[in-house]
Copies of this chain bind each other. A is one copy, B any other.
Amino acid sequence: MLDNFFNPQTIAVIGASRTSGKVGHDILKNLIQYGYQGAIYPINPEAPEILGLKAYPSILDVPGQIGLAVIAVPPKSVLEVVVQCGNKGIDSAVIITAGFKESGLEGTKLEDELVRKAKESGVRFIGPNCLGIIDSHSRINASFAKGMPEKGNIGFFSQSGALGIAVLDLALSEGIGLSKFVSMGNKADISDEEIMLALSEDDNTKVILGYIEGIRDGKKFVEIASQVSKKKPLIILKSGITSSGIKAASSHTGALAGREISFDAAFKQSGVIRAQTVGELFNYALAFANQPLPQGPNVAIITNSGGPGILAADACDKLGLQLVPLHKDIVDKLRSFLPPYASFYNPVDILGDATAERYEKALYTVVQDDKVNAILVLLTPTAVVDVEGTAKVIANISHIIDKPVLTSFMGKKSVEAGTKILMKYNVPNYSYPEHAVSSLNTMFKYNLWIKKHEEVYPTFNNAREKVRDTFECLNNEKREHLRESEVYEVLDAYGFLQPKSLLARTPEEAVAAAKGIGYPVVMKILSPHVIHKSDIGGVRMNINSKKEVENAFFDITTRVRHVVPNAHINGVMIQEMISGGKEVIIGITKDAQFGHMVMFGLGGIYVEVLKDVSFRIVPLSKDDAHEMIRETKVFPLLRGVRGEAEADIEAIENSLLILSQMALDFPQIIEAEINPLLVKKRGEGVVAIDARFIIGGD
């Protein structure tokens, strides 16, 4: 994919310049200097030669074919150049030039025009307003960044050029290899998703890192990210998540910054590993790039000092990794060669005078414990420690076993010689044990993700046809709310049980209805002009006798007439009163970026005060429904506390999947909420007590 970007036969630099420091000069220089092997054509209408290469007035003057065009001409000329590219048969371009959407209204128009022209001309492009691209394997440095990262297996794409520069500088300084680097700029044509796909198919890339501020098409993102993350770890730093952040994001690239909640759901559903800081991006990447995945949560720690061992143990505990007790045989073996004051349990403390040999023996012994899935080796630079020797033995053992080994050689200068060796032999080292632990945890979580069985997306086929007319009629009538009877009909079509209910137009009918349904009953006004029924006294609960029914009928109708004098009153709904069970809220909302999302929360103050809700983007898989219930803090209440019976959790899951289907069937739903959905005991199902729907255009 995108072959002509990362493996072109020839490259033209359009806007190549003789003046050092100019972007068009620096790109050309980078291409030459870092060893690109194909032909390079500087394009400059005035210079006959630049940096020793023959220059051409325009690409049309270049004799042979051109694989990739790198464009660094002024913004107004970019459109013309792109058309020329099309004429020359160039299908791939990197547009460095700034002055488009990021610069205001004028620029936005220019960018729109650019997209149109490029499409007409058959030219796909990265940018505009970007730093360029780098491929360390095909030796292409088509960027104006300083330096070229070492060959490596980490692919990185960034919406922010500046952050890209900082990351490149870090990679260069620390000797971290990158496979590809792509500065995405305004993403006017080639999208994050396309780059993610290209990196997922790139044999040189083992881990994919990305920095994004906003995305264009949420659905597409989830679809592609899920696909990519099943093949390779996809680690993303997403900014602009908070209110201040969003302000900054909008003034920066004009990208519509996503709401935290929808991105969170999207990342969860698509297996994206979310980094919270640039530091985490690197920490995680190093672990994935260099070590196998842990097959379970069990960690063993080997250390030459207690303090760091405790810090690491604390960190494991916080994240849910297990400090597994070592097998008796392993403990015995450790005891056979470690000094008596050592700790033979986990963390294994091999003491401050530990030699490289002692580290080697301890590590070699511990890895043989079948229960241990990952090993963390800690070292503090005590007076007698052999930093280099220890690094070597760790590297050696790490190469012959299939469990991840991560290290934290603490300190700096005293351990540098060791950490360089570790780095060289693919053992990721972290200055602080906590970072090693969080990286390990991320690997463990990712392993769970890729081992997850195929997602199941159940469908419920019958409902749509039944209520299609209801939704369409709404559209014709320009109404936004479904009426009571329509709500009943829709919920019924989708298989939701609802309380028995009958419409009564007179007190007598009401009494008959109540008798038929069985006491106690609930009575509610039914009027197209009354939406918030209970606010105006239009609802009465727990009605137990004929007398009470008659009184309530009179009360309700009088009050409604009083408060909404012109309301048309259809009558009073007599409804079965269902008690017992737990009240939950389920619903559908529509997010600007990701479209419909399904929500779950326990009813009442749990939602209002604690905001203890979970979201998933439509369509929901069975796993999604399963997980979203369990990730709320109040989940134990559904399981039953203090000897209570377990609620019918499966029925809630099913209800969430039905809502997902409903959102697919009727995209015009802007908001839907069943509140409360009464959940009975396990096996006894749920009842939709009340619901409302807000509908927009298609």
In the complex, which residue of chain B has the Cβ closest to the Cβ of A411? B169
In the complex, which residue of chain B has the Cβ closest to the Cβ of A22? B383
Residues of B within 8 A of A144 (CB): 383
Residues of B within 8 A of A318 (CB): 242
Please give the distance in Å from A286's CB to the nearest CB on chain B.
15
Stretch at the interface among A153-161, A197-205, A420-428, A657-665: A153-161
Residues of B within 8 A of A381 (CB): 146, 165-166, 169
Inter-chain CA distance A634–B606, complex, in Å, is 9
Q: In the complex the two chains form, is B349's CB within 8 Å of A244's CB?
A: no
A window 274-301: CB within 8 A of B: 276-279
Cβ of A656 within 8 Å of any chain B Cβ, yes or no, is no
Q: In the complex the two chains form, is A278's CB within 8 Å of B311's CB?
A: yes
Cβ of A323 within 8 Å of any chain B Cβ, yes or no, is yes
Q: In the complex the two chains form, is A244's CB within 8 Å of B314's CB?
A: yes
Residues of B within 8 A of A145 (CB): 383
Residues of B within 8 A of A239 (CB): 307, 310-311, 314
A window 425-441: CB within 8 A of B: 431-432, 434-435
Pick from B146, B412, B608: contact of A383, CB below 8 A. Answer: B146
Pick from B161, B168, B170, B349: contact of A252, CB below 8 A. Answer: B349
Please give the distance in Å from A605's CB to the nearest CB on chain B.
6
Inter-chain CA distance A419–B582, complex, in Å, is 59
Q: In the complex the two chains form, is B432's CB within 8 Å of A242's CB?
A: no
Cβ of A337 within 8 Å of any chain B Cβ, yes or no, is no
Interface centre among A173, A352, A380 (most CB of B within 10 A): A380
Please give the distance in Å from A570's CB to the nearest CB on chain B.
29
Of the four ranges (under 10, 10 to 19, 20 to 34, 35 or more), the interface on chain A belongs to 35 or more
Residues of B within 8 A of A21 (CB): 383-384
Pick from B252, B277, B384: contact of A307, CB below 8 A. Answer: B252
Please give the distance in Å from A497's CB to the nearest CB on chain B.
27
Cβ of A47 within 8 Å of any chain B Cβ, yes or no, is no
Cβ of A240 within 8 Å of any chain B Cβ, yes or no, is yes
Pick from B23, B251, B311, B317: contact of A345, CB below 8 A. Answer: B251
Stretch at the interface among A55-63, A449-457, A540-548, A636-644: A636-644
Q: In the complex the two chains form, is A307's CB within 8 Å of B162's CB?
A: yes
Cβ of A400 within 8 Å of any chain B Cβ, yes or no, is no
Residues of B within 8 A of A174 (CB): 412
Residues of B within 8 A of A170 (CB): 410-412, 431
User: 1/0 per position for A333-366, CB-CB distance to B under 8 A?
Assistant: 0000000010101010100100000000000000
Cβ of A243 within 8 Å of any chain B Cβ, yes or no, is yes
Show 22 residue pairs from A and B whose CB-CB distance is below 8 angstroms, ordered by the A residue: A159-B307, A160-B308, A161-B307, A162-B306, A162-B380, A165-B380, A167-B411, A168-B411, A169-B412, A169-B415, A173-B411, A213-B307, A239-B311, A244-B314, A245-B310, A245-B317, A248-B323, A252-B307, A252-B309, A277-B434, A278-B434, A610-B634
Would you list the 10 A-B pairs with minimal beta carbon distance, nearest first? A160-B307, A162-B305, A169-B411, A252-B306, A242-B317, A173-B412, A166-B410, A245-B314, A163-B307, A162-B380
List 13 extra interface pairs beyond A239-B310, A251-B306, CB under 8 A: A145-B383, A163-B380, A167-B411, A169-B414, A173-B414, A239-B314, A242-B314, A244-B314, A245-B310, A279-B434, A609-B633, A609-B637, A610-B633
